[in-house]
Amino acid sequence: MNFREALIEESVVVASDAASYIGQPFEGGAWSFDGGRELLVAALETPCSYQSRGSVDPYSVRRGRAAWQTWRSRDGGSTWQRDAVLHRIADTLARLEEGGIEPLAHGLTVPDSKRLMAMLSVPVGQHLTAGIFVSPDRGGTWQGPNLINGLSLSFKESYAESAILPREDGSLLLFATSRHPNNIPRPAVMLLSGAESYLTLLSYLPHHVDMERRFPSPVRLPDGRIVVAVTQRMAEAPGHTLIFCSDDDGRTWESLQRVNDIGDPAHLLALRDGRLLLTYGVPLPPYRLVARLSEDGGASWSEAYLLREGGGSADLGSARTIERADGTLVTLYQWNDADDEVIFSGGRRYLAALLWRPQ
Amino acid sequence: MKVRIASGIEEVAGCQHVKVFGEPEVFAGWPFNNGLEQYGDGSELVVNFVRYRCQVRQRPDGSNAYWSGMHPDSGRRRSLDGGQTWQVEGHLPWDRGKIGSTVATSGELLEDSWKHGIVDTLPIDPANGDHGLFTGSGRVGGVDRSFVCTTHDRGKSWNGPSFLPQNGVDFSHNRPSWLVRPDGAFLTFPTTAQKTGREGQVFTYISLDRGVTWAFLSVMAASDSYALIMPAAVNLPSGRILAAVRVHHYPEGLWTELYDSNDGGRTWGFAGRLNDHGAPCDLMVLPDGRLLAIYGCRRPPFGIRARISEDVEGWRWGPELILRGDGASEDLGYPRGAVLPDGSVCTTYYFHEREYPKPADCDQFHWGTRSIFATIFKP
């Protein structure tokens, strides 16, 4: 394979524990404050024995004693400290059983620079649905979940990652994934707008008759168009990345490009110089973390930058990248090492950060 | 742009036909499904084929029927001189044809590997003439699955298998069809089950570790109205990949369609029809860059036919070429070909010779004595 050179400034472990599964930052979300001097990332953390298939099963690790935990860096990503719990699964289940969580039709406040919003898949019975979490203090505390009427319970099953995009009119676009109408997942766009923050379905991205489309990752281009990276998967297969574009604020969508052979899931970031950055794991030997750049709004893409290679299994990647004001890119991702002393279908799953620049 | 083909039929002079394997009352067939391996400088070839006993027996009502049973032959012949002569080669380790043979191997290799999840496939170097890769399929764990094995000694021993994931289909039937992209990624193209349960769509799988681990990449060809099966694909100079795909269209349609990809097999489009009739088709790139397509013709005159492209990208194709037209029936074809070091081509296929006519009162459509041939010619 031909790769472009990436200048790796630092490679750090954000959080690692031989008795825990830590990862999935794409789903949790990442935020930047003060030009990237302060960073916050949310990742899944759950006790893990690494002694059975069930201990690393994607369904099981999101249940039981799992929590979406945050870590904070105050030096641009070089060092990280454990921070608040965004969402503890057992607490939510207990509140649901007690009837303490009601679906909301409206009443959410649009975030500002201090108020953060996260979206996560929340287990309700045997299904998942989209839940919204809000923090009034840069992630110091979190409130939620809010199960939003229409976004969650009226769908057969829905998934959510923190994929939220503001519009110029002050409203928010929330990108979730629904199985409506034929049980094959595809992204749905919800609009949160108006004085009472009314939430409504705005549009669906195009579907495929056989392959699921998940993990929407949206950005806005300088010319106002919205570009979304979506992971398309055939059953049981690692996914690849499709790019969709909207020139009418998310009401209609057209397909632009397939970016890669394998990439699952992929995070899209609009850089300050106008280029787009796509970061993703390749869950196929020799297990890689790579990135690509687009200079034309996602219509074409560079060869891949090889950020890391040689993981221990397919359970890695789930990347999110933040651009600091000084141009350094901070990619937060899940990894596992082939030569780890803890081995079950790969080494222990841990959260890592890579500080780098494309050459 | 769409593929254009010239009209007209021409006979190719100077074709040399060599019988590779043939015995009375033995059906031998389908090199397309079983492969033609090529090693060394390109003049060392190994052809694989099925073989069954095929004797005429009388039913209680007096009519004739073909009786079938396994045949002990290895179904494998090696040539060291570009197809002029062929020697018996041992069984492939996953071959099930063990009845009456002394070979202790069979599908047990596939079953055991599947049952225990063992993958001992070794990566290959596609530039090494000793190395090779076999892509095939077998019934494993009660399901038809596609697999890959590799060799480092010109097909004398094999390691593997690596199974292709099923990815939601009821069965997967791979034939020996694979290529290496310019960036080093390996691709293979199994035919898979449609939702109707019939064989009828073509997937693309990718390996990033030189043949060991495989994952779904894309759907090459699928149709609601007819079956698209048995692809053969080649790299073109521009970076495009061109694939010939067999169409089976109710009630009697049998032709070859071309599909192409401009992005390494991630997405595919219909490029055009190669012929009126004839499939499956093998594709080869000739030393001057032109493309050669070879297929069986199951309409009189029964035989083996070809077309040659007039450009290196396969947009314009010349008239249909007859390599031989002396077949006794429509039960022939399934060719696999190789370009030899001197620029000539050796193609192997199965053939119904006229000296073995079907008994007049036999109602079985196919079957009977069939032989494996090689035809060597200069395109």
Nearest to A235 among B168, B209, B212 (CB): B168
Count helices and strands in chain A by DSSP H and E runs: 2, 24
How far B266 CA lies from chain A's nearest CA (Å)?
6
**Which tokens hold the place of A302?**
């560079």
Contact between chains at B206 and A284 (C-beta distance less than 8 A): yes
Instruction: Work out how many domains chain B is built from and give that number.
Output: 1
Mean pLDDT of B118-145: 94
First vs last Cα of chain B: how many Å apart?
A: 26
Pairing mode, if any, of strands B9-11 and B320-324? Answer: parallel
* Residue of chain B nearest A262, judged by CA positions: B217
CB-based contact, B278 to chain A, within 8 Å: no
What is the structure's pLDDT at B102?
A: 37
A-chain residues near B209 (CB < 8 A): 284-286
How far B146 CA lies from chain A's nearest CA (Å)?
15
Q: Global pTM? A: 0.90
Contact between chains at A234 and B183 (C-beta distance less than 8 A): no
How far B244 CA lies from chain A's nearest CA (Å)?
22
Side-chain-facing half-sphere of A89: CA atoms under 13 Å: 23
B-chain residues near A238 (CB < 8 A): 215-216
Chain A residues whose C-beta sits inside 8 Å of any chain B C-beta: 1-2, 210, 234-238, 240, 258, 260-262, 282, 284-286
CB-based contact, B243 to chain A, within 8 Å: no
Burial class (CB in 10 A: 0-12, 13-18, 19+), B203: buried
Q: Is residue B128 part of a domain?
A: no
Side-chain-facing half-sphere of B277: CA atoms under 13 Å: 12
What is the structure's pLDDT at A170?
A: 81
Contact between chains at A261 and B213 (C-beta distance less than 8 A): no
A53, A233, A236, A261: best mutation site toward chain B, by most B Cβ within 10 Å? A261
Mean pLDDT of chain B: 93
How many CB pairs below 8 Å do chains A and B form together?
A: 53
CB atoms within 10 A of CB B41: 10
Q: Is B62 a residue whose pLDDT tops 90?
A: no
Q: What is the CATH number of the domain that holds B286?
A: 2.120.10.10
Contact between chains at A237 and B167 (C-beta distance less than 8 A): yes
| Residue range B77-120, pLDDT digits in tens | 999 999 999 999 999 988 754 433 333 345 688 888 898 888 88
Nearest to A284 among B167, B203, B215 (CB): B215
CB proximity under 8 Å: B 186-205 to A: 203
Contact between chains at A235 and B184 (C-beta distance less than 8 A): no
Q: Is B35 a residue whose pLDDT tops 90?
A: yes
What is the structure's pLDDT at A343?
A: 82
Nearest to A261 among B185, B203, B209 (CB): B185
Higher-pLDDT residue of B361, A301: A301
**Which tokens hold the place of B250?**
């109710």
Contact between chains at A236 and B166 (C-beta distance less than 8 A): yes
Mean pLDDT of B239-262: 94
| Residue range B282-339, pLDDT digits in tens | 999 999 999 999 999 999 999 999 999 999 999 999 999 999 999 999 999 999 999 9
Spatial separation of the C-alpha atoms in residues B300 and B317, rounded to whole Å? 22
**Which tokens hold the place of B5?**
């083909």
Spell out the CATH class of A6-358: mainly beta
- State the complex-level ipTM: 0.84
A3, A212, A231, A234: best mutation site toward chain B, by most B Cβ within 10 Å? A234
Q: Is B72 left (phi over 0), alpha (psi -120 to 50) or beta?
A: alpha
Tens of pLDDT along chain A (359 residues) come to 789 999 999 999 999 999 999 999 999 999 999 999 999 999 999 999 999 888 998 888 988 899 999 999 999 999 999 999 999 999 988 888 887 776 655 556 656 667 888 999 888 777 788 888 889 899 999 988 887 655 554 455 778 888 999 888 888 898 988 887 778 899 999 888 765 566 778 899 999 989 999 999 999 999 999 999 999 999 989 999 999 999 999 999 999 999 999 999 999 999 999 999 999 999 999 999 999 999 999 999 999 999 999 999 999 999 999 999 999 999 999 999 999 988 888 999 999 999 999 98
A-chain residues near B266 (CB < 8 A): 240, 258, 260-261
Domain range enclosing B263 = 4-31+42-103+171-204+214-377
Q: Is residue B123 part of a domain?
A: no
Facing residues of B297 across strands? B303
Higher-pLDDT residue of A95, B13: B13
